[in-house]
Amino acid sequence: MVFHIDVDAFFASVEQLRDPRLRGRPVAVGSGVIASCSYEARARGLANGMPLHQALRLCPDLVVLEGRHEIYRCFTAAIWEICRRYAPAMETFLDEAFCDFSGTEWIYPDFLDLGRRIRREVRDEVGLAVTVGIASNRMMSKIAAKSVKPDGLRLIPRGAEEAELLPLPIEKLPGMGPKTSALFRDMNVRTVREFREIPIETLVAMLGKVGAALHERARGRDTRVVREDEVPKSISRETTLHAPTADRAELDGLMCYLVDRAMRALRQLGLRVRTIRVSIRYSDWVQEERSASIAPTGIDEEVLPAARRMMWELYTRRVTLRHLGVVLSNFRIEEPQGNLFEDGKLKRLHEAVDRIRDKYGDGAVILGRAIELLGKLENDSYGYVLRTPSLTK
């Protein structure tokens, strides 16, 4: 599923947050035209893009501010940092972000709940309201968000896309600009339902590629993927144990499993890791951690011994453990050809395992000592269920 996260009345909200005297008052940011206005201003008929002289005529007590973009950027940076705690891939545009959660259903069984959590953390930590729309693709997630702005949360379930779109006016279709929609209005086409009557050949003849894209969008399809342009700072996998344990085989198995999961994420991103950090937490909440650096690698067998050694160095008290984590960081981008002689065999093995898992799910192959865990942790077709979310940030 894709999350569309949109800051409500962004510039104006930041100004109201920074100066409490502005709260509850109509505020507009911009020069010449409104770049952003508060919901109090919108209630008076103001909108983004409206010339300021017209806005002041409609709303004489409007507070007009020039805007300070360096400050606004700090606020979005803080919000996107919160989203990155959860989202494996993310794309941001000014005050909007698309977060791609595809394939994370096994970590986040309830996406609405995750949406609530993100909204709460943004409000508590940054002080701003964001609207979250959740759906099977980018376009639908944005439509979901728009339908509940401001300060809203909505999930359009997979399969409900078409029903959502049919009654909408054609202007709401992403990619339908004012000129294009005027063209269809002239043809007496007003809703998406009516738009869908137009054959694709006609749309392509009229508008070329745009016509073909609109044909797809009117059916709720949007194949653009969310791109993560940045290399993540770290990849972590951690878990809280169902029952605290001191069993060496079980802990070894769990570490093998966590490393396996983290390394798989690393290989998917085409990275090699240099620094490994291991953390343990005892049942009495005492926490210890340690890190080590190794030669850059993408292979479990070169990471696991260091991870296991650190775990046993850390685990010195006669108290059971309830939490175990591994964090990979200090990444190198893998050379495209790779070195066949260096680590060819193991690398090919792991690539083969990754391919099987892509096809049959993470539970299809269990590596090494993780087999010890069978029956001890809940297992499903997605692999063992980690009890805390994994983070790639």
Task: Please give the structure tokens belonging to residue 91.
Answer: 């794309």
CB neighbourhood size of 85 (10 A): 13
Q: Return the number of the residue (95 or 372) whose C-beta is nearest Mg ion.
A: 95
Window contacting Mg ion (CB under 5 A); options: 4-12, 24-32, 175-183, 294-302: 4-12
300 binds Mg ion (CB under 5 A): no
Exactly one of 15, 81, 96, 201 is catalytic; which is it?
96
User: Contact at 8 Å (CB) between 259 and 303?
Assistant: yes
250 binds Mg ion (CB under 5 A): no
6 binds Mg ion (CB under 5 A): yes
End-to-end CA distance of the chain: 19
Supply the minimum distance, in Å, between the C-beta of residue 127 and Mg ion.
15
Q: Return the number of the residue (46 or 235) whose C-beta is nearest Mg ion.
A: 46
User: Contact at 8 Å (CB) between 290 and 278?
Assistant: yes
Supply the minimum distance, in Å, between the C-beta of residue 167 and Mg ion.
24
Torsion of CA 172, 177, 179, 182, to 10 degrees: -10
Cα separation, 121 vs 50, in Å, equals 33
User: Contact at 8 Å (CB) between 253 and 370?
Assistant: yes
Sign, Cα dihedral of 115, 118, 121, 124: negative
Window contacting Mg ion (CB under 5 A); options: 95-103, 234-242, 256-264, 268-276: 95-103
- Number of helices and strands in the chain (H, E): 14, 15
How many Cα atoms within 13 Å fall on the side-chain side of residue 38? 21
Identified binder of Mg ion from the candidate list 15, 40, 91, 95, rule CB under 5 A: 95
Q: Residues touching Mg ion: how many (CB under 5 A)?
A: 4
Q: Return the number of the residue (37 or 377) whose C-beta is nearest Mg ion.
A: 37
Q: Which residue has the tokens 């508008």?
A: 207
Supply the minimum distance, in Å, between the C-beta of residue 227 and Mg ion.
21
Window contacting Mg ion (CB under 5 A); options: 89-97, 116-124, 209-217, 233-241: 89-97
Window contacting Mg ion (CB under 5 A); options: 9-17, 54-62, 80-88, 244-252: 9-17
238 binds Mg ion (CB under 5 A): no
Q: Judge whether 96 counts as a catalytic residue.
A: yes
Q: Return the number of the residue (65 or 303) whose C-beta is nearest Mg ion.
A: 65
Supply the minimum distance, in Å, between the C-beta of residue 23 and Mg ion.
18
Cα separation, 310 vs 275, in Å, equals 12
Window contacting Mg ion (CB under 5 A); options: 74-82, 92-100, 108-116, 122-130: 92-100
Q: Return the number of the residue (73 or 219) whose C-beta is nearest Mg ion.
A: 73
Q: Return the number of the residue (47 or 340) whose C-beta is nearest Mg ion.
A: 47
Closest Cα partner for 76 from 89, 91, 94, 90? 94
Binding mask 50-69 for Mg ion (x = CB under 5 A): --------------------
What's CA 62's distance to the chain center, in Å?
36
Supply the minimum distance, in Å, between the C-beta of residue 67 and Mg ion.
14
Supply the minimum distance, in Å, between the C-beta of residue 35 and Mg ion.
11
Cα separation, 114 vs 287, in Å, equals 26
In angstroms, what CA-CA distances link 319 with 311, 315, 388? 14, 9, 21
Q: Return the number of the residue (7 or 213) whose C-beta is nearest Mg ion.
A: 7
91 binds Mg ion (CB under 5 A): no
Cα separation, 220 vs 136, in Å, equals 9
| Catalytic machinery residues | 96
**Sites of contact with Mg ion (CB under 5 A):** 6-7, 10, 95
